[in-house]
Structure 1
Amino acid sequence: MANTRLDTSAYIARLRALDKGALPPDGGQDFNRLIFARSPYLLQHAENPVAWYEWGDAAFEKARGENRPILLSIGYATCHWCHVMAHESFEDEQVAALLNSHFVCIKVDREERPDIDDFYMAVSQVLTGSGGWPLNIFMTPDKRPFMAVTYLPRQGRGGQNGLMELLPNIAALWRQRPDLIEKNCRSIMDAMGNLSSKIDHTVSVDLQQLVDTSFNQLRNIYDPQYGGFGTAPKFPMPMNLSWLTGQGATGNHDALGMALHTLERMRRGGIWDQIGGGLHRYAVDREWLVPHFEKMLYDQAMVGLAALEANQATGGGFYLHLAEDIFGFVARELTSPEGGFYAALDADSEGVEGKCYVWGKGEIEECLGDEAPLFCRFYDVTAEGNFEGHTILNMPLGLDEFCTVEELDSTETGLRLERCRLLLLEKRKRRISPFRDEKVITAWNGLMIAALARGGAVAGDPAFLDAASRAASFLLEKLRRRDGRILRSFLGEAADVPGFLEDYAFLAFGLLELFEATLDTVWLEWAVKLADQMLEIFLDPASGRFLKTGRDAEPMPLAASLEHDGVVPSAFSLTAQVFIRLARAAARPDLLDHARRLLESYAADVQRQPTIHLGSLHAMALLEGEPFEARFSGHRDHPAIQGLLHALKARYCPNLALTFEASDDSPALAICTQGTCYPAVHKVSELEPILERVAPRLTDQK
């Protein structure tokens, strides 16, 4: 039986199961106040000697009453460097003594409270030019920051102070020079105020110029050998890949090639879990070999969508299989019994990063017997290993190229390797698994619903559609208050934190994709309801701006943030896209006006840095471009309708505006695009020639 400290899942389960009714409010001798938290991340710190508080009135009242500065530490349950700092410092009695004597300490799970994380991450960016987790903010009792740092070691090294040096200095500064603290606070708040400047309606956007600039900037940092962007660390950046695929549809073959090559190299690299499917968060090297091993739900959704778009554009089965590999992993390891999707898997198990995922050659030989030599050659397994004496599985060559070199039949070899993979997967299941954060986060679930719905439509696989529908039903039932307000997360029960703009936008996106995949207008109606709530809750009538946090929620010191696309779309860009698509699908032209005003509200930011606003460029293209109208009529479950829908969704159709009218007439699909309205078709054989003309395959690769 593993030590529960090393088996994090068992450890958290034990803490959650404790009878806490007899514990005092401060947690007593064995715990701090975080023992009462629901968040797995906060529970991971419940036995720290640090007297942690959750974010709330009690912490701020104590800081005000005792005139103490606050240490706000923000992270998440599957964050490797959060674990490192916790083990080095927050579990240390000497560090805890300094913190407890001079500070009020608050822990926040960034996934539960993205509003807090977003504001103070913007502070870190303003102060240091960078950010990350753990994010540690020193601030006043009125929540104004005066210093930001990320990971710090316990003791200084390499000319950098550690916590043991930094904490006494800050405590002394707080007591002796409050004027300097106040000066720093004012300077930071002034800088933050500049992030929320008034809307400049005079900004004129030349969309084609921004598209050209963005492509040239991406091409300049593109790695032509290994794919991806930059050198190391290297993130998947699915927003880049989706946008480049879209540019391929306009005739930019170089853009499409960059997206396809990156997907291929990621699939072959160690960033991909070659045994269990899905991908890790990023690679620490240029070659995609050594990953940071945590696995996030949003990465699976976004890369899955990028792969499906590549398949729609090219017809290449490789990209569809890539998405299916992701969906298989999500179904097996990130799906709750109720149908919601869990947030993440940790990088660490038994206190070691990546231990669950790496292999020794001997254990592979013992498991696979006579098939081991083939497996080891294909997956680059050696006795020396490629990572701390072990091997991270990767594919130096694709299957066809490998079989050509080895003079093997590719079909038979693929089947042999698949049998080996399944044997090793069973063996791996007997290891202690990384901790799974079982929070169901509304926004990330919305992305996964969208990916599965698109996958079901493209592949014609009802299992993907069933998974998307179950998750959507779960969210709409369990993550809505009685007044209809969407909530942020669920873990055993819904949290009382109201949903943020990203929760509404990402969920509406998922429901819209589900409508387009099924023609079930129930999903469209729900998406419209969410859009109306977004206008009610997040549109500030005084400024005309959309807010990322609802007007009914706790405000931050300033309504300021750095809003742009990252590994997921920005809440603003996806809101605009959803409004545009709903305007056409649900006959709501008012939503086009809201989308236009939303994009105008930060057009100056897009103009300055278009490459980090690709989602907004896509929204602008939707707004300016001619819709690809596809009008279905008939019974949605009729085989002919389903066949037409599958044929349409298997193609890359930019600016698709899909509508459905239930009727007793014979099943039909009418398409209007590129200045032409085509006669209604009733069979796939009648539709295909039209699609060849208006949505041709871009390449026959893979």
Structure 2
Amino acid sequence: MRQTTPVCWTLLDKFSNSNSNISAEKTPLILQFVFFSLTYNEFGCCMPGKAPMTFRQTHGGTTQSNNIMEQENATLGNRRSANRLADEKSPYLLQHRFNPVDWYPWCEQAFSKARQENKPIFLSIGYSTCHWCHVMERESFENEEIASFLNRHFISIKVDREERPDIDRLYMTAVQAMTGQGGWPLSVFLTPDKQPFYGGTYFPPEDRYGKPGFLRLLQQIHKIWSERCDDIVNSAENITRQLEAFSQQSISKDANLDVSTLKHAVALLKTGFDSVNGGFGNAPKFPQPALLALFLRCAARFGDSEALRMVCHTCDCMAAGGIHDQLGGGFCRYSVDEQWLVPHFEKMLYDNAQLLDVYLDTFLITGEQRYAEVARGIATYVLRDMTHPLGGFYTAEDADSEGYEGKFYCWSHDELARLLSSDELNVVCKYFGITETGNFVDHSRPDPLPGQNILHIANPVLTERERRCLNAARQKMFAARNKRIRPHLDDKVLASWNGLMLASLARAAIILGEESWLQAAEKNSSFIRSHLWDEKKKTLYHRWRDGEHDRVQLLSAYTSQILGHVSLYEATLCPACLEFAVALAESMLQRFYDPTAGGFWQSAAASDLLFQIKEDYDGAEPSGNSMAVLGLLKLAAITGRAHFK
């Protein structure tokens, strides 16, 4: 999936490019050789992301193996022994367990082998619901010729970016700095000492989309590594020094953050507003809930009516678009167009948690019930389809089912004609813009399904009789859709994303008067404390799946759980919630705070990282540092503990 957050820093001019021209005098020698010998323009993955697995706790929908890739993996498993990834818990890594590529997880064994055999490392980073990760697997990682070349000349490592966002952030920054673009799957070439020297995103198996074929790229890098290894190592060391210097820049302690700074930032952000379609920027368009939340705060605090109008228009346009699941509630990750019509259909927990807050706040400020109804739809979706029986919230749902993107969500005119009465069909076609030709084509398939329609509100003006017909039709459509084979569910539970949903759900329960939601929030809190928190060590782990937690400690896990439990405390006044938030805050200060330069490190220990970094901006997910500030200020106000300030 394409990453749209702008590059926060560029490594001076050293790795800059201008469209298709690489600056020869400014590009390190070895990178010039790679760039020019391949004669292509690396523009990042401009094609989105999704994926598969087998188990799912479902509340509707076929529960059999729910993706063609799973069936293919099962078939491959009968012919081919599993690789090292078979012992992992990550659904993403498990998807690759029958690849002929000799994958390693991120581990010292892989780096030791690379050093012993003097081989470069191919690092592939993605996530289980990433559509273009699946495409690259199908085209390249299942290709025997490509796999054989990788196995002979590289050490190949797979990383789940959702389990290890710290690794992903580090190498995403490197690729963005080298190419000006980033996305997933992220493909990075490293020295045995973990230093990056080249990278990109999705590569096709042969030259296509203005990109080199993956095998040709591997052959070229192997040739250069064999002939000019010292040049590559020197260049990688230089890149690493530049990256580390930029990542550890400190903010002046004299910096003055005041209301005028905030207002100036909002004024600049307003210039990117799309007054026609809502949202910010052009296609592909992301909801950017952090910006919407900022605008809502300015509306409430400063009486900024323009900011409020922008948020309302955006919320209305998104709610009417195909990015919004018109039958089941919840939002997809982003839209490929400016109108919010055609999404890439993956649904992520962190998006829906943040958008739940946005629609709640828009409802509180405006009093308009339509925003409350969208919020209800989000919460209902998460509790119905994204919740473990023990209370944890799952990570994501895929865009693909049965090998086709969006198949679970789209409708043909013929299918609806068989399902609905003539009156119901007429009103559904009017309201949702259904046509016989459709409005969506899955371009990632050579044989896309014909006449597919993404539901969106094309004509909201209905008579009372038409609205009754629409309600009856929607019930039939939802029941029929639940009989389809569902997209893959990534059923790991992440402390970070669970904290975001916990905070939003606890607020929603009080604001919308839903007692069962509050009970679900309390159950989620119990899950986190039972399965991811070590009371004796005062340690919060990041991922739980299949009865086990990992050993990773991340700032975002602590900060989101602090905010989640403060929110739950505000909703229930339960002392245990506040005590847990305080324990998390104290542990966070000990493990992550940088007393020298200020701010918090993204991960607690850098033993397996090239170097430590700090999250410095809110992107698709809120920054660990921004959440830390907010959480500490709230705890200081509630508890009176001055050191939290």
Q: Give the TM-score normalised by structure 2.
A: 0.85
Aligned match for 2:625, one of 566, 569, 572: 572
User: Stretches of 4+ moved more than 3 A in 1?
Assistant: 1-12, 200-203, 412-416, 540-545
Aligned match for 2:208, one of 154, 157, 179: 157
Counterparts of 2:168 and 2:551, CA distance in 1: 14
Residue matched to 1:696: none
Give how far 1:202 is off.
4.4
Could you say what secondary structure the match of 2:156 adopts?
Answer: strand
Could you say what secondary structure the match of 2:199 adopts?
Answer: strand
Aligned match for 2:480, one of 416, 424, 427: 427
Give how far 1:9 is off.
6.2
User: What are structure 1's unaligned runs of at least 5 residues?
Assistant: 19-26, 593-702
Counterparts of 1:383 and 1:568, CA distance in 2: 38
Counterparts of 1:197 and 1:156, CA distance in 2: 38
Deviates more, 1:307-316 or 1:281-290: 307-316
Counterpart residue type for residue 162 of structure 2: E
Over 3 Å counting, the alpha-carbon distance change for 1:533 and 1:304 in structure 2 is same
Counterparts of 2:154 and 2:402, CA distance in 1: 32
Q: How does 1:244-283 map to 2 (within 5 A)?
A: 244-249=295-300, 250-283=302-335
Residue matched to 1:533: 587
Q: How does 1:383-394 map to 2 (within 5 A)?
A: 383-388=436-441, 389-394=451-456
Per-residue deviation, residues 503-543 of structure 1 (Å, max 9, x unmatched): 00001111111111122222111111110110111123455
Give how far 1:248 is off.
0.8
Q: How does 1:61-76 map to 2 (within 5 A)?
A: 61-76=112-127
Give how far 1:545 is off.
4.0
Could you say what secondary structure the match of 1:136 adopts?
Answer: strand
- Structural RMSD (CA): 2.1
Could you say what secondary structure the match of 1:153 adopts?
Answer: coil
Over 3 Å counting, the alpha-carbon distance change for 1:198 and 1:135 in structure 2 is closer
Residue matched to 1:101: 152
Over 3 Å counting, the alpha-carbon distance change for 1:51 and 1:231 in structure 2 is same
Q: How does 1:493-572 map to 2 (within 5 A)?
A: 493-551=547-605, 554-560=607-613, 563-572=616-625
Residue matched to 1:333: 385
Per-residue deviation, residues 319-367 of structure 1 (Å, max 9, x unmatched): 1111100011111110111111000001111111111110011111211
Q: How does 1:14-29 map to 2 (within 5 A)?
A: 29=80
Over 3 Å counting, the alpha-carbon distance change for 1:483 and 1:565 in structure 2 is same
Aligned match for 1:299, one of 348, 351, 364: 351
Residue matched to 1:194: 245
Counterparts of 2:210 and 2:378, CA distance in 1: 43
Counterpart residue type for residue 563 of structure 1: D
Aligned match for 1:365, one of 382, 394, 417: 417
Per-residue deviation, residues 79-100 of structure 1 (Å, max 9, x unmatched): 0110111111111011111101
Counterpart residue type for residue 525 of structure 1: E
Counterpart residue type for residue 132 of structure 1: G
Is the aligned partner of 1:209 residue 2:260?
A: yes
Deviates more, 1:561-570 or 1:456-465: 561-570
Say whether the 8 Å CA contact 2:323–2:343 is kept in structure 1: yes
Is the aligned partner of 1:345 residue 2:397?
A: yes
Deviates more, 1:227-236 or 1:160-169: 160-169
Over 3 Å counting, the alpha-carbon distance change for 1:98 and 1:571 in structure 2 is same
Aligned match for 2:233, one of 182, 203, 208: 182
Counterparts of 2:383 and 2:369, CA distance in 1: 21
Number of residue pairs matched by the alignment: 571
Over 3 Å counting, the alpha-carbon distance change for 1:150 and 1:128 in structure 2 is same
Residue matched to 1:581: 634
Say whether the 8 Å CA contact 1:195–1:562 is kept in structure 2: no
Counterparts of 2:420 and 2:290, CA distance in 1: 39
Say whether the 8 Å CA contact 1:122–1:562 is kept in structure 2: no
Over 3 Å counting, the alpha-carbon distance change for 1:397 and 1:209 in structure 2 is farther
User: What are structure 2's unaligned runs of at least 5 residues?
Assistant: 1-61, 442-450
Residue matched to 1:40: 91
Give how far 1:421 is off.
1.4
Aligned match for 1:240, one of 287, 291, 305: 291
Residue matched to 2:544: 490
Could you say what secondary structure the match of 2:533 adopts?
Answer: coil
Over 3 Å counting, the alpha-carbon distance change for 1:136 and 1:220 in structure 2 is same
Aligned match for 2:507, one of 454, 477, 480: 454
Residue matched to 1:23: none
Q: Give the TM-score normalised by structure 1.
A: 0.78
Counterparts of 1:170 and 1:451, CA distance in 2: 47
Aligned match for 2:458, one of 372, 376, 396: 396
Counterpart residue type for residue 516 of structure 2: A
Counterparts of 1:458 and 1:90, CA distance in 2: 48
Residue matched to 1:115: 166
Give how far 1:6 is off.
3.5
Residue matched to 2:525: 472
Say whether the 8 Å CA contact 1:442–1:507 is kept in structure 2: yes
Could you say what secondary structure the match of 1:107 adopts?
Answer: strand
Give how far 1:10 is off.
7.0
Over 3 Å counting, the alpha-carbon distance change for 1:159 and 1:317 in structure 2 is closer
Counterparts of 1:496 and 1:185, CA distance in 2: 30
Counterpart residue type for residue 96 of structure 1: A
Q: How does 1:163-178 map to 2 (within 5 A)?
A: 163-178=214-229
Say whether the 8 Å CA contact 1:298–1:447 is kept in structure 2: yes
Aligned match for 1:51, one of 102, 121, 136: 102
Give how far 1:218 is off.
2.1
Say whether the 8 Å CA contact 1:8–1:349 is kept in structure 2: no
Deviates more, 1:419-428 or 1:321-330: 419-428
Residue matched to 2:497: 444
Could you say what secondary structure the match of 1:512 adopts?
Answer: helix
Could you say what secondary structure the match of 1:30 adopts?
Answer: coil
Per-residue deviation, residues 627-675 of structure 1 (Å, max 9, x unmatched): xxxxxxxxxxxxxxxxxxxxxxxxxxxxxxxxxxxxxxxxxxxxxxxxx
Over 3 Å counting, the alpha-carbon distance change for 1:52 and 1:532 in structure 2 is same
Deviates more, 1:115-124 or 1:444-453: 115-124
Could you say what secondary structure the match of 1:195 adopts?
Answer: helix
Could you say what secondary structure the match of 1:221 adopts?
Answer: coil
Say whether the 8 Å CA contact 1:32–1:52 is kept in structure 2: yes
Residue matched to 1:319: 371
Is the aligned partner of 1:377 residue 2:426?
A: no
Residue matched to 2:178: 127
Give how far 1:423 is off.
1.2
Counterpart residue type for residue 81 of structure 2: D
Counterparts of 1:489 and 1:278, CA distance in 2: 23
Counterparts of 2:358 and 2:469, CA distance in 1: 29
Counterparts of 1:5 and 1:300, CA distance in 2: 23
Say whether the 8 Å CA contact 2:90–2:160 is kept in structure 1: yes
Give how far 1:160 is off.
2.6
Counterparts of 2:310 and 2:409, CA distance in 1: 29
Q: How does 1:690-701 map to 2 (within 5 A)?
A: none
Say whether the 8 Å CA contact 1:88–1:153 is kept in structure 2: yes
Give how far 1:422 is off.
1.8
Counterparts of 2:351 and 2:257, CA distance in 1: 31
Over 3 Å counting, the alpha-carbon distance change for 1:554 and 1:414 in structure 2 is farther
Counterparts of 2:210 and 2:159, CA distance in 1: 29
Could you say what secondary structure the match of 2:549 adopts?
Answer: coil
Residue matched to 2:34: none
Give how far 1:277 is off.
1.0
Say whether the 8 Å CA contact 1:266–1:272 is kept in structure 2: yes
Counterparts of 2:134 and 2:561, CA distance in 1: 31
Could you say what secondary structure the match of 2:421 adopts?
Answer: helix
